[in-house]
Amino acid sequence: MNTLFLDALHCRNTRRPPVWLMRQAGRYLPEYRALRASHSLLELFHTPQLAAAVTRLPLDRLGVDAAILFSDILVIAEAFGGSLHFEDGCKPRVVLPPSPRLRSVRETLAYVFETIRLLKKTLTVPLIGFCGGPFTVARYAELPLEEITRASIEYLLLQIEAGVDAVQLFDTWAGELGAEAFAAYCSDHLSKILRALEPTHVPVVVFCKGASRFLGALGQLPLRAISFDAEQEMQQLRRLVPPSVAVQGNLDPSLLRQAPSHIQSEVLRLLESMQGERGFIVNLGHGVPPDVPVAHVKCFVDTVLASH
């Protein structure tokens, strides 16, 4: 197996930095659009063979160093009896029953764990599982943060049991909070999830928009890596993060709309600034935009793959 990603998570990578991209299996890929022409998003999520196929698409097309499970942070709402609605061009919508209660996560989200098992049979790169941070999930599903936290712990432990090699927590909406609100609504719940996962020894990455503003709180959490958006230069952030914690990111996704020569120049600039860092993972500061050319995404990845 290609271990670059896992080596970097443990701050022991001595080769080129690994690269993968948030939303690397998405609408910018023609193969994905072809699948969406005949299947709804929920069909893709709920059919393990299809979800596994979508997860593999960027591996074949781009050659990235890690796969991330094709799913959505909001499927956790199904464990509370909720239904998901994804209308094109609209914010995802969660409809909950009048008195939502947590059901069997193992049974309700069995299709996710089957997708993981299918993928692990053939993948030659690590597989990243994930869930949403409780605060972010609560922005879409009006559920108590404690209940979301409890369900998320069970959900991630079952992903790990099924075979994921690493986990990423997406607390995207944290970026709208100040430091005190982050402490009140995010860090305590993230801490509970991370501490519950510690005995598994599976590395955990935390992504928050605005993470550079919450380094004091994030530094207290038992995580393996922090994934940064593009608010600050990665070289500056590396100096603020303990050397035992890996850093991931953090070029602006809008870069992928620029000319390939400019993409290559910016990626090389990032690589040069982080040269010699054993705990560095190349990624964007957020997900791949849906309207960028595949050739631009490939240029981004190929520039990293060619580095030494």
Mean predicted confidence (pLDDT) in 267-283: 98
Q: What is the pLDDT of residue 132?
A: 98
Amino acid, res. 157? L
Q: Does the structural domain 4-305 have CATH classification 3.20.20.210?
A: yes
Q: What's the CA gap between 248 and 228, in Å, rounded?
A: 6
Q: Percent of the chain beyond pLDDT 90?
A: 96
pLDDT band per the 50, 70, 90 thresholds, residue 280:
very high
Distance of CA 17 to the CA centre of its chain: 17
Q: What is the pLDDT of residue 193?
A: 98
Whether residue 290 is predicted with pLDDT greater than 80 in this model: the reply is: yes
Closest CA to 299 of 252, 256, 254, 269: 256
Q: Give pLDDT tens digits for 187-246.
A: 999 999 999 999 999 999 999 999 999 999 998 999 999 999 999 999 999 999 999 999
Mean predicted confidence (pLDDT) in 255-270: 98
Output Rg (C-alpha) for the chain, integer angstroms.
18
pLDDT band per the 50, 70, 90 thresholds, residue 102:
very high
Q: Percent of the chain beyond pLDDT 70?
A: 100
Closest CA to 268 of 285, 278, 282: 282
User: Which residue stretches of 142-214 are H helix?
Assistant: 145-162, 179-182, 188-197
Whether residue 308 is predicted with pLDDT greater than 80 in this model: the reply is: no
Structure tokens belonging to residue 25: 């299996």
Closest CA to 246 of 117, 24, 66, 25: 66
Mean predicted confidence (pLDDT) in 1-25: 97
Whether residue 121 is predicted with pLDDT greater than 90 in this model: the reply is: yes
Q: What is the pLDDT of residue 240?
A: 95
Mean predicted confidence (pLDDT) in 244-266: 98
Structure tokens belonging to residue 182: 């982050």
CA dihedral of 143, 144, 145, 147, whole degrees rounded to 10: -90
Per domain, the residue ranges of the chain are: 4-305
SS3 51: helix
Whether residue 131 is predicted with pLDDT greater than 90 in this model: the reply is: yes
Residue given tokens 């809008």 in the structure block: 254
SS3 53: helix
Q: Give pLDDT tens digits for 70-101.
A: 999 999 999 999 999 998 767 899 999 999 99
Q: What is the pLDDT of residue 273?
A: 98
